Each structure stands twice: as structure tokens, then as C-alpha cells.
Structure 1
Amino acid sequence: MEFSEVLRHRRMVRAYRPDPVPDDVLRRVVRVIRRAPSAGFSQGHRLAVITAPDVRARIAAISEGPYVEAGLPAWISGAPVLIALGIREASYHERYQEPDKLDDGAEIPWPVPYWWFDSGALLSLLQLAATAEGLATGFFGPGDHTQFAEVHALTGFPAGVALAGILTLGYSAEDPAAPPSGSAGKRAKLPLEELITWRG
């Protein structure tokens, strides 16, 4: 699939077919973690690939209620794969305390917490890789701190890896000609002039 086609087909999906994702396909998607940018090549990204039905059901039981109450289908429980995106912040501090990254002998002050910024870049790469494989994705974060802690415990991440959110992955059950099921299907796109500033 051409890159322009991958971009055109990438969308948030909230309905999945029950078909399992073949292991080789899933491995090709998640291996993009090696291509994801990280400040100073800190490599603080972590993924937990969750296919076990009981674990997926427990995560859905914690997280899905607000979506169903808003009239959406039970899409989290319907996804055959959940991928937890984790961030190990310590990897960034360790890297920026190495001699080639010190600023006057000290770690930089981090005006932007790039471990979170980089997790968004990884999310985009995962979505594009999944789209190129004919898969669909969605994304959610559990509703509050307690729910995040409960889902974190189910991911298998150690205490030093924070949960950024969960990618849902599978084969779409949505009509590709229909508007997106989430906010993108309900709101107009802003004009490019409002989104891009040119300083030429």
C-alpha cells in the first residue's frame, strides 16, 4: 500500500470483527517500536501486547462503561488485541546524564516531558503499521487515576513503566464508506490556514 493510501485509510475504529490477528502480522506491527523516535535515542518505549481473552475482558470491564453509556458499541471488549503503550521515564534521565548529553555538567531541565511526547509518536507509527497490514485501530485511556492503576496492573508493566494508554487492534467491522464513529465523524475539519503557519 502506498504511504498516501495508508494515511487516507488510517482512522479510529470502534467496531471489530472477531477474527484473530495472525501472529506474524502482529509482530510486524509492534516491531515499529524500534523505529519510534525517542529523545537522545533514550529508548524508553515499552509495549504490552495483550491477546489473552480474560485479561482483555478485565481491561474492558474497567474502561468500557463510559463509551457504552455514550451510545457507542462495546468496542474495547470486541477488539482481539490490546496494546498497552508504556513509558519508562528513567530511560530519558539516564540517557541525559551521560557525558554527551550533559548541559554544563547537569541534565537538561526538560521544559517538555519528551517521554510523553514520544509515546504519541509511537502511537502514530503503530496505527500506520496496522493500517498498512489491513488492520484497524482505536485508542483509549482508562477514565481516572484508579482505573489507570488497575489497568496498569493488568499490563504486566513494572512499577517504573507508566501507562500512556491502550491501542485497540483488529479487523474493522465498520463500513469504510461511513463517517468515522468517533469525534472525527461529528466535527468539521478546520481549514489548513488555521492549522499551519508559514514563516517564509
Structure 2
Amino acid sequence: MAAPIHRTLRVAPFPQRGHFPRLPTMEFQDVVRRRRMVRTYTDRPVPPDVVDRIVHNALRAPSAGFSQGWGFLVLDNADDIARFRDAARPEQDPQNWFAANVQAPLLIVAHSNKDAYLDRYAQPDKGQTDRSEARWPAPYWDIDTGMASLLMLLTAVDAGLGACFFGISPDRIDTYREAFGVPAHFAPIGAVSIGYSDEPPRDLRGRRRPTADVVHRGSWGQPAG
């Protein structure tokens, strides 16, 4: 079953393979190097073909057992984004991160579907007969949806856009679900704001942890070299 993509509960138009218009692209290492969280955007809309490319690339993410237990809600007009702002606004926003993100011209909310994984791994080819969660070392439904979200972030950079992944406050999830009719078995793990950056470049090299602090070779505590 194909992963659901919704534009405020309408199935999004989706180009067939090979039908995307050609866009200027970067070298992959440049995309990775330039990726950062952007929270301030111009009001210039994201072209529809770029929106479709971003979502299409999300569907290329890996998923355990090819379960593809994800769903994406695309909000790309002012009324829908205003509904999201009203439904998901946290009671406190001391750093103004939520208010800034919802000024973007495009929001894509990523949802994980645990049932898709439990059902997939109860199939005969997996050698299991039940839907027990005890066998899972980590919630792969959330991890895989996070990988799909990263592909959206990278695709945005490749298209010359800025993007930011941010969460929905736990006390606002029910309100968000009700506002957009999200089924109970889909859990919103976060949203991606996307648009043309209105922020000056920032140099984060001094804050990035060095490789020697986080990479171990052969055994823990041995530097990567």
C-alpha cells in the first residue's frame, strides 16, 4: 500500500516517475554542508513542482521490512497554515520558535504508523505470528519517519530553500488531530517548515562537536584517528 500523502485530507497530485521538471541541483556534499535549521522565511511561495519533489523524495527513505508506515499532511496555503497555527500553538513559546516556523509558506507534518510495522512483521516471511512490540529494540516507525523527514530537509536545501524540523507540543496533539482529521493510528512526530530563507548566514563551526568527541573506532573511547 502506498504511503498516504494528504493536502488537508485531499490526496496530493503526484507526478509519475521521471516527470519532474529539471531543477538546478548541488553536489551532495554541498547539500549536507549547507543544511541548517531555518526559522525565518520570506512570503514567496514554494513552486508546486518543488513541493511534489520534496514529498516524492521523502518516500525514498528506508523503512524496516519496507513497511512504509508513514503519512504526510501537506499544508501549502495561508488558511491551512493558520489552522495549524491555531491548533498546535503551545501555551508557552519563550524563544518564539513555533511562531517563526508557522510563518513559512509550506508545512509538511510527518506521521508514523506503528500498526503498519506490527502488521508487516506478523507476516509469514518474517517468521513471527503475533504483533508484539517486545521484539523491537527501538520504535522503528518513528525512526523511519524521521529519516523521511531528513530527506525532505535535504531536498529543500538542494532546491535553494530553507527548512526546519520542529515538534508539536504533546498537550496540543489532540487539538491538532481534531483540526485536520488525523486518524488515531497515525502519530505526528513533527513538522517541517519550508520556504525561502530570510535569515543571514550563520557560522556554526565553533559550536559543532569535533569528530573525536563522538566517533569511536574499534571500541568505545578509541578516537576515530
Structure 1 residue 71: Cα displacement:
5.3
Scaled by the length of structure 2, the TM-score of the pair is 0.77
SS of 1:79 mapped into structure 2 = coil
SS of 2:165 mapped into structure 1 = strand
Provide the residue aligned with 2:140 in structure 1: 114
**Alignment check: 8 A CA contact 1:15 1:173 kept:** yes
Scaled by the length of structure 1, the TM-score of the pair is 0.86
Change (3 A) 1:64 1:133: farther
Find out whether 1:4 has 2:23 as its counterpart: no
Find out whether 1:123 has 2:142 as its counterpart: no
Change (3 A) 1:40 1:13: same
Residue number among 158, 174, 191 corresponding to 2:210 in the alignment: 191
Separation in 2, partners of 1:64, 1:175: 27
1:5-59 CA distances to partner (integer Å, 9 max, x unpaired)?
A: 1011111011000000110111011101321111000010111101131221132
Find out whether 1:98 has 2:117 as its counterpart: no
SS of 1:15 mapped into structure 2 = coil
Change (3 A) 1:65 1:57: farther
Change (3 A) 1:76 1:164: same
1:75-134 CA distances to partner (integer Å, 9 max, x unpaired)?
A: 12310011000111111011101111124x455621211101112111111101111111
* RMSD between aligned residues: 2.3
**Alignment check: 8 A CA contact 1:101 1:107 kept:** no
* More RCO (CA 8 Å, sep 6+): 1
Separation in 2, partners of 1:9, 1:186: 12
Provide the residue aligned with 1:182 in structure 2: none
Provide the residue aligned with 1:49 in structure 2: 74
* Counterpart AA for 2:165: F
- Identity of counterpart residues, as a percentage? 36
Change (3 A) 1:25 1:71: closer
**Alignment check: 8 A CA contact 2:165 2:191 kept:** yes
SS of 1:152 mapped into structure 2 = helix
* Counterpart AA for 2:89: S
SS of 1:74 mapped into structure 2 = helix
**Alignment check: 8 A CA contact 2:160 2:196 kept:** yes
Q: Which runs of 5+ in 2 are unaligned?
A: 1-25, 220-225
**Alignment check: 8 A CA contact 2:41 2:197 kept:** yes
Provide the residue aligned with 1:161 in structure 2: 186
**Alignment check: 8 A CA contact 2:111 2:188 kept:** yes
**Alignment check: 8 A CA contact 1:50 1:155 kept:** no
Instruction: Compare the two structures and name the one with the higher helix fraction.
Output: 1
Q: Which runs of 5+ in 1 are unaligned?
A: 180-184
Aligned length: 191
